């Protein structure tokens, strides 16, 4: 099962303060729009996404179809295929990718401790 690029999406109270804090660890802005209260930071292959006022909890995020530089992969497991694999294994999904559509879609699950897992396909 190939899940694609991985990042931790953090629900932050102050985007600027969080960006400055993670900058001390070598993270630099990679993408996003601070005017819309979100910013993606990168240090090597490590990615942290900061979201102010958008999520209640931190989320483990996977992007099927992308590498760690947000570049499209030639070959990858589509989110709808991942949905079928996960549900076949008994994973309960909180949000499901619509089987009747193509292209970008997402699904969400929670682990036994309530940690959110987002598979967010952009391609």
Q: Is 119 exposed, middle or buried (0-12, 13-18, 19+ CB in 10 A)?
A: buried
The structural architecture, per CATH, of the domain 5-121 is Roll (3.10)
- Domains of the chain, by residue range, sit at 5-121
Tens place of pLDDT per residue across the chain (123 aa): 899 999 999 999 999 999 999 999 999 999 999 999 999 999 999 999 999 999 999 999 999 999 999 999 999 999 999 999 999 999 999 999 998 999 999 999 999 989 999 999 999
What pTM was computed for the model? 0.90
């Amino acid at each position: 099962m190939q899940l694609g690029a991985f990042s931790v999406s953090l629900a932050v109270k102050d985007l600027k303060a969080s960006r400055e804090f993670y900058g001390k660890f070598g993270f630099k802005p990679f993408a996003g729009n601070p005017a819309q209260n979100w910013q993606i930071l990168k240090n090597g292959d490590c990615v942290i996404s900061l979201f102010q006022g958008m999520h209640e909890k931190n989320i483990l995020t996977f992007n099927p179809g992308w590498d760690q530089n947000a570049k499209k992969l030639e070959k990858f497991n589509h989110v709808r295929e991942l949905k079928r694999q996960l549900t076949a294994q008994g994973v309960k999904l909180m949000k499901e990718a619509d089987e009747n559509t193509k292209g970008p879609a997402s699904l969400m699950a929670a682990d036994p401790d309530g940690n959110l897992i987002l598979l967010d396909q952009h391609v």
